[in-house]
Amino acid sequence: MNDKIFAKPISKQFEFDEQVASVFDDMLQRSIVYYNQTADLIRYYALSYIKDGGTVYDLGCSTATILLNIERELKVDATLVGIDNSSSMLKQAKRKIGAFNSKIELINADITQYQYKKSDLFISNYTLQFIRPLQRQNLLLNIYNALNLDSAFIFSEKVVSSNNRLNKIMIDHYYEFKKEQGYSEYEIMQKREALENVLIPYTQDENLQMLKDAGFSSCEVIFRWGNFATFIAIK
Contacts of 187 (CB under 8 A, 6+ apart): 6, 7
Model pLDDT, residue 226: 95
Q: How far apart are CA 122 and CA 107, in angstroms?
A: 15
**CB 88, CB 21: distance < 8 Å:** yes
Q: What is the pLDDT of residue 44?
A: 96
- At 221, give phi and psi (nearest 5°): -95, 120
| Confidence (pLDDT) at 169 | 96
* CA–CA gap between residue 202 and residue 228 (Å, rounded): 11
Average pLDDT per 10 consecutive residues for the chain, totaling 235 residues: 67 66 73 91 96 97 94 96 94 93 96 96 96 94 97 97 96 93 85 82 96 95 96 97
pLDDT at 22: 66
Which H/E stretch holds residue 107? Answer: strand 105-108
Q: For the chain, which domains are there?
A: 11-234 (3.40.50.150)
Q: Output the pTM of the full model.
A: 0.91
